[in-house]
Amino acid sequence: MSNILPIGAVTMTSLELVDFINCQRGDSEVELRHDHFMAKVPKVLGETAPKFLGTASYANGTGGMVLRGIYHFPKREACLMAMSYSYELQAKVFDRMSELETVTAGGRFYIPQTMPDALRLAADLADQNKVLTEQVETMTPKVEALTRIALADGSMCIQSAAKHLQVQPKKLFLWLSEHEWIYRRAGGTGWLGYQSRIQSGLLEHKVTTVERSDGSEKMVEQCRITPRGLSKLAELLNEKAAA
């Protein structure tokens, strides 16, 4: 597919270019034949000529169809071919293709004019659809996982969040601290969430009961990550890994 032009790219076939040249010529000038034009293309375009060569089906006058070799020229190559006849023709071809580009840029649909154009467009659309399908299939499990997390009930401690995110707890604590999700008060030992993260619904504080070594209990405030916060972290950490 390396020789396929972008969808909607303005092109002119060798038949169209020959017709255009003949229309621009005066009545006294000899009509340009397509087979003569085809023979000239490799001489003008050199090694790149085969890149633009294709076939098209045409009626043979007896009710049947025949395949004919034809070129599909982008703007540059069409102008080079026209220039091989005259600078005046080059300018006219340039103006004509510029007009077609303006129409395409104006938001109108690109309509293939020949069977090869239609087949090329269909192939390009099939390739693009395949790529999009593969991207959707790749992203679907991740989206579903993030959706389940975001809709889950209850928050979790940072250690449990690290397990769900498949990162080391130490690294997650460090990341949260560096990115101003959590902090420690001077002289304090526990982590606290920044108020902006709490207001955004990413973190919350809960009072939990912790058992001391002597069997007694004490009440401590614990910073916890909400389902929304876990979903956001999964997204941010995934972007970091992809960078």
Mean pLDDT of the chain: 77
0.85 surpassed by pTM: no
> How far is Cα 229 from Cα 166, in angstroms, rounded to an integer?
15
Report the candidate in 85, 97, 102, 76 with the shortest Cα–Cα distance to residue 40: 85
> How far is Cα 201 from Cα 240, in angstroms, rounded to an integer?
22
pLDDT at residue number 30: 82
> How far is Cα 77 from Cα 48, in angstroms, rounded to an integer?
10
pLDDT tens-digit series, residues 167-226: 899 999 999 999 999 998 877 778 889 999 999 889 998 877 767 778 777 777 788 898
| Residues 232-239, mean pLDDT to the nearest whole number | 80
- Other CB atoms within a 10 A radius of the CB of residue 204 amount to 17
pLDDT tens-digit series, residues 81-140: 999 999 999 999 998 888 777 655 544 455 556 666 666 666 666 666 666 666 656 655
> How far is Cα 221 from Cα 191, in angstroms, rounded to an integer?
9
Q: In residues, how long is the chain?
A: 243
